Amino acid sequence: MDFEDHLGFAQQLDQRDPLAHMRDEFHIPTIKGTDQAEIYLCGNSLGLQPKRTASYLQDELHKWQTLGVKGHFDCEYPWMPYHEFLTAESAKLVGAKPAEVVCMNSLTANLHFLMVSFYQPTAKRHKIMIEDHAFPSDHYAVESQIKFHGHDPAASLVLLKPRAGEETLRLDDILAAIDEHADELALIMLPGVQYYTGQVFDMQAIADAAQHHHITVGFDLAHAAGNIPMQLHDWGVDFAAWCTYKYLNSGPGSVAGCFVHEKHHDNPDLPRFAGWWGHDKATRFKMENHFVPIQSAEGWQLSNPPILSLAAIRASLDTFKQAGGIDALRDKSKQLTAYMRFLLQQRLPEQVQIITPDDPLSGCQLSLTITTEQHSGQAIFAAIEAAGVTGDWREPNVIRVAPVPLYNRFTDCHRFVEILEAAL
């Protein structure tokens, strides 16, 4: 599409947007002291609240109030199998079979529990490959797993770094590093979307390379789930985990998601940290002390999950379903980010650098660095925030903005660039 740099064009795009009505399904924060809606571009950090969330939560509070413990059983959406009500739509978002997906724990906790099963170092194969600029929690988790198994991260951690003068990793360099370290790698764990740059990784190519060398591969999908389409089952990914409070709009600290490929479900030799919610459902309440794992991703569960958080996730998943699913949202996302990129390059080509690669190596997020000598990036960020834009700042020098297709408009993109231009 050929874009134009004026407000009327953005308004025309909004009028033609088949998903424009979805904005009405969300609560949009207002600028402090006014009734004017913020330009909310922070869904990559915390998604907005769907309007249906409150009623879904209230339903569960009412059950607890009126039924007590009986809320586990004979009612609509009983608590005992409540996590199962999230399975089908969660599986669609990541391209999995329903049996391969479960909502449980938090993101880093899930990565730890999955590495218990899928990081099994030997004297020869003991290394884990991650990116040098991984999200800190991932780096901490991987280093601690290496130490737990008696190895030294200095010898057992393979860090992928961009080429000198570049911000993002090239696929060829990732694949070359896999080939180079193949005989020593026990695990490859990379993001689906890089949190700092917004780069989308070619998960299929990475999984293919890992499988060629018989290396286990897992992905942190914190910034990918609800953002880009995926096909985890078809790609043969061994495991993955994601949070649900970013693009999945289920509330701060909400329960996370987890994927385990079906090829691992009936492997009796696979180690795991076990808990009673992962035990065979038919015999769980016999209270016997012999663990029989459920032969699905549910077998990695530990405890019964918090129902109020699951209710918020169900509200979000129903909102995604109303929108037509991830493919429809991805179509709009491409247009939104392309339009924002066009405006930035049209108006501020010398002052703003976009370090996020172009489509198809980007999702909703654009990461911007300020190159003017007159103002620091943080000063500019403070100025646009004061003018009603909510994005976020990541050290050392990036402003992250994410036009989310569920609730952002093309006019949001246009107004944001105007505000940024004024601040500069």
What is the amino acid identity at position 147?
K
Q: Is 185 helix (H, G, I), strand (E, B) or coil?
A: strand
Q: Give the integer Cα–Cα distance in Å for 42 and 417.
A: 15
Which H or E run contains 166?
none
What is the number of domains present in the chain?
A: 2
Final residue of a domain: which of 322, 355, 390?
322
Q: What is the per-residue pLDDT for 21?
A: 98
Q: At a CB cut-off of 8 Å and minimum separation 6, what does 108 contact?
A: 137, 138, 140, 141
CATH number (domain holding residue 411): 3.90.1150.10
CATH number (domain holding residue 257): 3.40.640.10
Q: Give the integer Cα–Cα distance in Å for 236 and 262.
A: 9
Q: Report if residue 15 sits inside a domain.
A: yes
Q: What is the per-residue pLDDT for 373?
A: 77
Tokens read off for 372: 């003017």
Overall pTM > 0.85: yes
Do 91 and 201 share a domain, yes or no?
yes
Final residue of a domain: which of 300, 322, 344?
322
Do 143 and 232 share a domain, yes or no?
yes
Q: Which domain holds residue 400?
A: 7-37+325-423
Do 339 and 316 share a domain, yes or no?
no
Q: Which residue has the tokens 């699913």?
A: 325
Q: At a CB cut-off of 8 Å and minimum separation 6, what does 334 contact?
A: 359
Under a CB-based contact definition with an 8 Å cutoff, are residues 168 and 131 in contact? no
Q: What is the per-residue pLDDT for 100?
A: 98
Do 341 and 277 share a domain, yes or no?
no
Under a CB-based contact definition with an 8 Å cutoff, are residues 209 and 181 in contact? no
Is the alpha carbon torsion for 123, 129, 135, 138 positive or negative?
Answer: negative
Tokens read off for 275: 């808990």
Per-residue pLDDT of the chain (424 residues; tens, 9 = 90+): 899 999 999 999 999 999 999 999 999 999 998 999 999 999 999 999 999 999 999 999 999 999 999 999 989 999 999 999 999 999 999 999 999 999 999 999 999 999 999 999 999 999 999 999 999 999 999 999 999 999 999 999 999 999 999 999 999 999 999 999 999 999 999 999 999 999 999 999 999 999 999 999 999 999 999 999 999 999 999 999 999 999 999 999 999 999 999 999 999 889 999 999 999 999 999 999 999 999 999 999 999 999 999 999 999 999 999 999 999 999 999 999 999 999 999 999 999 999 999 988 999 999 999 987 777 889 999 999 999 999 999 998 899 999 999 999 999 999 999 999 999 9
Q: Exposed, middle or buried by CB within 10 Å (0-12, 13-18, 19+), for 73? A: exposed
Final residue of a domain: which of 305, 322, 339?
322
Do 222 and 198 share a domain, yes or no?
yes
Q: What is the per-residue pLDDT for 234?
A: 98
Q: At a CB cut-off of 8 Å and minimum separation 6, what does 70 contact?
A: none
Do 148 and 202 share a domain, yes or no?
yes
